[in-house]
Amino acid sequence: MTLANTGNAILVVPRGEVYFDRFADETLVGEGELYLGNTPGFTIERTFEETKRYSSYGGQIVERDAIVTQEKNVADIETDNISMDNISLWFGGTVSDAGQAAVGLVTESFQIRRGRWYQLGSTINTAGVRYVEPDITFSVDSGPITNVAANLIVNRGDGRIFVLEDAADLIDGQELTVEFQWRAAEGSFVIPSGQEVVGALRFIATNQIGPKISYLFPYVRLKPKGSIDLKVDNFLALEFDVDIRKKFGTSEFFYVTAIGDATYNAEELYIINVGLLTLEAFMTYEDLFNSIINDFMPAANYG
């Protein structure tokens, strides 16, 4: 920890990591803390609603102690880590890592218009399938289409076909039948939900200047803020509004801690200062030597 001393001031250049421990459905038990990634912004705001009391002394109205009737704590988080986990938090859903399974031949039909795109696989998966290979055939009522290039553009990677404006053998309103298959692929899907996203939020300070002050919010609700800019010249970012709540009636809204450096005894400090081994490595070798001297050597027959 480096202190920025200017007179009696303790200055901090804030840095830190943000973790969210989402509660399992209908419980207050977390699933394990998820690192949200790079978070350029994290701010906290605390406000009170209060009832004021006044008294009159010598013809003057004097304000007395107020009574706090409501305390509200909120936060704002911004992250440019566009992971599927973070996207699922923004949409209030969950992530499925099922990916794309390969199947045998599938047949789908489209009533076509020239100049239009069609997504393959939507009868199996609403969003369609990718990597349509190796086999794909096209046919109409009059028979198979043998000159595919004169009628269609086939994007196998995205699983899409385009009917050319000047298709040689296809006309508007005609039914195009496609028989195809696709390869298995790893992938994940976000399943949106209307449920609240609740859990514990932790901020671990990592700043190099000033004391490291960390925060724990035992019970919060994450809500999407703003919009997701799907086309933008800057790096995409996700923003969240955070409602800070009490987990239990006797608990606090948040806990703030500033922990100094760890303490060591004289022997440990000597090992650290010599620098040949880390303290953890030294303890490992110490246990090994102890086992050799006290277990292996007495049991060995040197006669």
Same domain, 20 and 80: yes
pLDDT value of residue 113: 97
Asked if residue 289 and residue 140 are part of one domain, the reply reads no
Residues 205 and 176 in one domain: no
Residue 31 resides in a domain: yes
Same domain for 180 and 212: no
Final residue before a domain boundary, out of 153, 185, 217: 185
- 88 and 204 together in one domain: yes
Q: Are residue 86 and residue 107 in the same domain, yes or no?
A: no
Question: Is 195 found in the same domain as 88?
Answer: yes
Q: Is residue 212 part of a domain?
A: yes
- Domain identity same for 176 and 223: no
For residue 72, what is the domain's CATH number?
A: 2.30.110
Task: Judge whether 245 lies within some domain.
Answer: yes
Among 108, 106, 107, 116, CA closest to 171: 116
Q: Is the pTM of this model over 0.85?
A: no
Q: In the prediction, which pLDDT does 271 show? A: 82
Same domain, 124 and 173: yes
The total of structural domains in the chain comes to 3
Tell me, yes or no, whether 5 lies in a domain: no
Residue 5 is predicted with a pLDDT of 56
Whether 6 is covered by a domain: the verdict is no
Question: Does residue 3 lie within any of the structural domains?
Answer: no
Range of 168's domain?
103-185
What residues contact 81, with CB distance under 8 A and at least 6 apart? 36, 37, 38, 39
DSSP string, 114-172: TT-EEETTTTTSTT------S-EEEEETTEE-S-GGGTEEEETTTTEEEE-TT-SS--T
Per-residue pLDDT of the chain (303 residues; tens, 9 = 90+): 455 556 678 888 899 999 999 999 889 999 999 999 999 999 999 998 888 888 887 778 888 787 877 889 999 999 999 999 999 999 999 999 989 999 889 999 999 999 999 999 999 999 999 999 998 999 999 899 999 999 999 999 999 999 999 999 999 999 999 999 999 999 999 988 888 999 999 999 999 888 999 999 999 999 999 999 999 899 999 999 999 999 998 999 999 999 888 888 888 888 888 888 888 887 887 777 777 777 766 666 655
Asked if residue 196 and residue 181 are part of one domain, the reply reads no
- In angstroms, the Cα distances linking 169 to 151, 153, 199, 235 are 6, 14, 58, 45
Q: What does the pLDDT read at residue 248? A: 93
The residue out of 137, 154, 185 marking a domain boundary is: 185
Does one domain contain both 209 and 73? yes
Predicted local distance difference test score (pLDDT) of residue 76: 96
pLDDT at 284: 84
Q: Is residue 145 part of a domain?
A: yes
Q: Classify residue 222: in a domain, yes or no.
A: yes
pLDDT at 21: 97
Residue 269 has a CB neighbour count (10 Å cut-off) of 12
Q: Which of 185, 200, 218 is the last residue of a domain?
A: 185
User: Is residue 148 within 8 Å of residue 176, measured between CB atoms?
Assistant: no
232 burial level (CB within 10 Å; 0-12, 13-18, 19+):
exposed
Contacts 24+ apart (CB under 8 A), 45-50: 45/73, 45/74, 45/75, 45/76, 46/71, 46/72, 46/73, 47/71, 47/72, 48/72
Check residue 283 and give its pLDDT: 80
Instruction: Note whether 80 and 195 are same-domain residues.
Output: yes
